[in-house]
Structure 1
Amino acid sequence: MKTSDLCLEKDNKCAEVNRNAIIFENSKLTYVGQDCSRIPSPLIQVYAPSVHYMDLSFNQLSTLQGLEQFTLLKELVLDNNNLTDTLCLPRLQHLHTLSLNKNNIVNLELLLNKISNNLPALRYLSLLGNVACPNQLSDMEKDEEDYQRYRYYVLYRLPNLQFLDSTKVTTEERLEASRRGQLMKVVCPTNVEGRDDSPATFNSKYTPLPGSKRSIGDHQGAYGKCRYRYSGKHSEGNRFIKNNDL
């Protein structure tokens, strides 16, 4: 069959769908590397009722509109797209595998709320390469301790997971997550709503500076709880403190 294209709706940045790029066999649908900003409507109309596995990696997806029609979906791969905290996860009763590697997801708490509410059968989750997953793929400043705390918190929120990212969940991890996982929550200062049409804003009303100007000579300090703390984990300043400075 020669290459042929079907027109999609005008507001879709992926103006055409390449028939030759669609691979459907044994309930598995693959449409990879086609730069689509949303799930093409022909895929929804033709394949949604019978798909169990779908791979839409290496596109430009910024919305999952239409995903709710894949009611029998069990595995979903969305690696290397443009999905953000505004992504809307519909309720998919049978979905047990979700891969979101290398997207633009920042707010872990928001994502876990959506998964907990809408994906009751989920057993495998992968978030590598997102800011929400604190390892060196997303931030060179993160270390193994940061990543392990993240794992404990995710497993506390999603205790039925069997695999998280590329690693199987161990019995010891599961026990530790149930014991103190709730203490590992990472605060993310965002105003993102859980909708596809909401803007991803990251404004914070907190500031270390006083709320009003002070006159010269006014050195009065302010006392209170601080929202952020600095652990000094990466500081080398202590190397330059001498004994006679103490």
Structure 2
Amino acid sequence: MNDDDQSFIHNNCYPSVVRGPDDGVISVDVSRDALVDSMTDMSETPIPPDIIASVDTPGEHEENEKLTLAYERLYDIPKTIVERFSDHIKYLDISHNKITNLDALVYFKSLTSLIADDNPITENCYLPPLPKLELLWLNRCQITSLYPWVGKLKESCPNLQILSLMGNPAAPSYFNGGTFYEYLQYRLFVISQFPSLHHLDDRRVTEDQRLEAQRLYKRPFFERIVKPAGLSQIVNSSVTWNTFQNKITTLLGKDKQNRNLLI
């Protein structure tokens, strides 16, 4: 992290987040194994042991590329954590918290793996550019609409290889009341957006699935789906998966039973 980035963090916290002058982590009390954090509505948040070790022995954290903040009751990624670890962390686990905004990840330039399961993250939460990110877990969040969220995710993380969205309303399965046909549509649509994806949810992406995804969701076909509303109108609004599915079903009509949807 360069001096400009550090200055920006100190003065502005994170982009698009308005906070008071005293917001953020204001002190680290290593003797009590806690950080005093006014960013979350809590007086203090326990620090994982690896963070304590890094505070006690400055300099050693350069060799540690993994950071776990799971089950810390966080509403945001603390500013002190960003300042101390963002320049070298490659694996970040923020699962089982109450985080809804991921803007702070813009400073994690080396991040290759992000675990964010069980957070109230919705389709209105867009990831900042993370070109090195290869693994992303967003299981059991609150994502209800795939479009345009998946397209934005593709722009931010073009090199994703492993993606898991299980347990979200936008990821139909037998576990949340979805039908097998809905699951196939969801799976093929997501695969069509990420050429480098080789694992989606709990299953490997096969070459047959990739070919079928390209056949169903190539651009001319997709443009027919969104008409007559028009692409610009769709892009600027949230489209539910049920609406998207109904458009596909109407277009395919009688061909539905003859299509070779592979899994």
* TM-score normalized by the length of structure 2: 0.66
Query: SS at the partner of 1:42?
Result: helix
Residue aligning to 2:190: 154
Measured in 2, the distance between the counterparts of 1:193 and 1:21 equals 44
Is residue 4 from structure 1 mapped to residue 33 from structure 2 by the alignment? yes
Measured in 2, the distance between the counterparts of 1:163 and 1:127 equals 11
Structure 1 residues 79-124: Cα deviation after superposition (integer angstroms, max 9, x where no partner):
0011112212100110011100000001111221111211121111
Is residue 127 from structure 1 mapped to residue 127 from structure 2 by the alignment? no
Q: What's the RMSD between the two structures over aligned residues?
A: 3.3
Residue aligning to 2:48: 20
Q: CA deviation at 1:128?
A: 0.4
- Supply the AA of the counterpart residue of 1:13: D
Q: Gaps spanning 5+ residues in structure 1: where?
A: 195-199, 203-225, 231-246
Measured in 2, the distance between the counterparts of 1:61 and 1:175 equals 36
What does 1:124-203 align with in structure 2 at a 5 Å threshold? 124-137=162-175, 139-140=176-177, 142-182=178-218
Q: CA deviation at 1:184?
A: 8.4
CA 1:15–1:117: 2 relative to 1, 3 Å: farther
Q: CA deviation at 1:229?
A: 8.7
Residue 93 of structure 2 contacts residue 116 of structure 2 at CA under 8 Å; is this kept in 1?
A: yes
CA 1:32–1:88: 2 relative to 1, 3 Å: same
Judging by fraction of residues, say which structure has more helix: 2
Residue 158 of structure 2 contacts residue 194 of structure 2 at CA under 8 Å; is this kept in 1?
A: no
- Supply the AA of the counterpart residue of 1:96: E
CA 1:3–1:192: 2 relative to 1, 3 Å: farther
Measured in 2, the distance between the counterparts of 1:98 and 1:114 equals 14
Deviation above 4 Å: which 4+ runs of structure 1? 21-25, 182-187, 191-194, 226-230
Q: Gaps spanning 5+ residues in structure 2: where?
A: 1-29, 52-60, 227-233, 241-245, 251-263
1:102 paired residue among 140, 160, 164: 140
Q: CA deviation at 1:16?
A: 2.5
Measured in 2, the distance between the counterparts of 1:176 and 1:95 equals 26
Query: SS at the partner of 1:84?
Result: coil
Tell me the number of residue pairs that the alignment of Structure 1 and Structure 2 aligns: 198
Greater Rg, structure 1 or structure 2? 1
Residue aligning to 1:115: 153
Structure 1 residues 180-237: Cα deviation after superposition (integer angstroms, max 9, x where no partner):
13568999xxx9979xxxxx9x9xxxxxxxxxxxxxxxxxxxxxxx98999xxxxxxx
Query: SS at the partner of 2:136?
Result: strand
* TM-score normalized by the length of structure 1: 0.70
Q: CA deviation at 1:4?
A: 2.2
Q: CA deviation at 1:15?
A: 4.2
1:51 paired residue among 79, 89, 104: 89
Q: CA deviation at 1:21?
A: 5.5
Query: SS at the partner of 1:85?
Result: coil
